[in-house]
Amino acid sequence: MEDKLINIAQGKQRHEMHASEAIFEQEMDKVFGRCWLFLTHESLIPNFGDYVVTRMGTDEVIVSRQRDGSIKAFLNTCRHRGAQLCPNEAGNARGFVCAYHGWAYGSNGDLQSVPFDEQLYDGLLDKCKNSLHEVAKIDSFYGFIYGCFDQDAPSLSDYLGDVKWYLEPYMDLSGGVELIGPPGRCLIAANWKTPSENFVGDAYHVGWTHSSALRSGGSIFSPLAGNSVLPPEGAGLQITSKHGSGLGVLWDAYAGVHDGELANELMAFGLAKEQRLIKEIGAERARIYRSHLNGTIFPNNSFLTCSGIFKAWQPRSANSTEVFSWVMVEKDMPSDLKEAFTKSVHRTFGVAGYWESDDNDNMESETYMAKGHQAKKKMLNSQMGISGDRIDPVLPGVVGKSAIGETSYRGYYRFYGDLMNSDSWAEVSAKGDNWQDQLIKATV
């Protein structure tokens, strides 16, 4: 599989991975069956009985707040004949009753009652053995809830690894963030990896793909329109981690894609908080807070911090992805600024956002062309900046040399290859023992 799909040493990947149903089926087992997957945010299920129905790979799951404040997740399938248990996207319930035969479960997943239990089962049905199938591991990263089917997976903290250092200033030390839901949802005719890889490290496309948006708006990125200029030297960098998560940093770009008076208000808000954070966490990490981060938590959870969009790319098939989109905003942002920010996020990266539409066209094209009999055999190139990947004395992870590069692409697919070529987490971990050297020694 590694020789066929992923060439770590040369920064290449085979196009077939964007359209093959056979590869997709392997991914559901080896990637989505093993990795930590985003479920919801604590702010969206604050009270006992609150729940959302979301997806982990191709499986629907119910994520439910428990009486003791903890969170559990279960497959959304009745244990009797496998019918869908909860048809709603979200709500509050003390339990769930199957519409097919009336089997009833508590919010903790326990089977509580079965119609005519004594008469039809002669009292032999063991309710304890017929509880809902529970997701093996649930954990939170500063309010962001993730789940994992594999009991042998590393902890969420270890899985996130080096990227935590970059996310903490914005997601925690700033006072915390929340997601505004319910999520916008739409289907795109694209493989789930195409948007995931784009968000993990593609600043290269911004000036070209989004040229019209940049020219019509007045965002901090507008000078890039039409590839008229490159970001100046030192404008940013890229980072990748052991488990494939990665991000790009554009320094001091707190207003993100937002424009007009809103951009000015955002810059003033971010600058004021940065001054406070300098005293609390130091100038370097305070600067990360006020900088724009584009990233993906491997495999399918992406974000733009200061642009305020948070996404999960939910796979439906090799050629279809359901996109979940939330607005991500700092908790202590003034209510009027938060409202204006939310509207701007929907206008730019919401379901019908003009930035989003630009990207979707490319994602679908990348997937469609991978179906070609000859095209699918060819290798794709992610070699930009390949000679500049390094270990930095201060910054965690493997760090690229500039704002525009493909360091994060290479790290994303290095880990993807490890998963696809391993039968257990022990094998995955062993393959990643020298992950930094694998990337730093890569060459064209």
CATH number at residue 84: 2.102.10.10
State whether 61 and 176 are in the same domain. no
- Taking the C-alpha atoms of 393, 395, 401 and 406 in order, what is their torsion angle to the nearest 10 degrees? 140
How many other C-beta atoms lie within 10 A of the C-beta of residue 16? 21
Q: Is 292 helix (H, G, I), strand (E, B) or coil?
A: strand
- Asked if residue 323 belongs to a domain, the reply is yes
Least Cα distance to 425 among 147, 151, 139, 133 occurs for 151
State whether 50 and 187 are in the same domain. no
The pLDDT of residue 158 is 98
Least Cα distance to 172 among 185, 184, 160 occurs for 160
Please list the pLDDT of the chain residue by residue as tens digits (444 residues).
Answer: 445 899 999 999 999 999 999 999 999 999 999 999 999 999 999 999 999 999 999 999 999 999 999 999 999 999 999 999 999 999 999 999 999 999 999 999 999 999 999 999 998 999 999 999 999 999 999 999 999 999 999 999 999 999 999 999 999 999 999 999 899 999 999 999 999 999 998 999 998 999 988 888 778 888 888 888 888 888 999 999 999 999 999 999 999 999 999 999 999 999 999 999 999 999 999 999 999 999 999 999 999 999 999 999 999 999 999 999 999 999 999 999 999 999 999 999 988 888 899 999 999 999 999 999 999 999 999 999 999 999 999 999 999 989 999 999 999 999 999 999 999 999 999 999 999 999 999 888
pTM for the whole thing?
A: 0.96
Looking at the structure of the chain, the number of domains it has is 2
User: Is the peptide bond preceding residue 334 cis, with omega within 30 degrees of 0?
Assistant: no
Give helix 335-349 / helix 260-281 axis angle, nearest 10°: 110
Domain range enclosing 293: 161-440
- Asked if residue 1 belongs to a domain, the reply is no
State whether 170 and 58 are in the same domain. no
- Asked if residue 259 belongs to a domain, the reply is yes
The pLDDT of residue 3 is 57
Q: Residue 127 has what DSSP assignment?
A: G
- Asked if residue 20 belongs to a domain, the reply is no
Summarize the chain as % helix, strand, coil (round to 5).
40, 25, 35
Beta-strand pair 398-399/390-391: antiparallel
Least Cα distance to 266 among 362, 345, 207 occurs for 345
State whether 183 and 58 are in the same domain. no
Alpha helices by DSSP H, 48-92? none
State whether 293 and 257 are in the same domain. yes
Residue 304's DSSP bridge partners are 294, 309
- Asked if residue 262 belongs to a domain, the reply is yes
- Taking the C-alpha atoms of 187, 190, 192 and 197 in order, what is their torsion angle to the nearest 10 degrees? -120
- Asked if residue 13 belongs to a domain, the reply is no
Specify the long-range contacts of residues 41-44, CB closer than 8 Å, at least 24 apart. Answer: 41/143, 41/144, 41/145, 41/178, 41/179, 41/181, 41/326, 42/71, 42/140, 42/143, 42/144, 42/145, 43/143, 43/178, 43/179, 44/90, 44/179, 44/181, 44/182
Task: Cite the active site residues.
Answer: 101, 202, 205, 210, 359
Least Cα distance to 208 among 236, 186, 229 occurs for 229
State whether 131 and 168 are in the same domain. no
Last residue of a domain, one of 139, 171, 199: 139
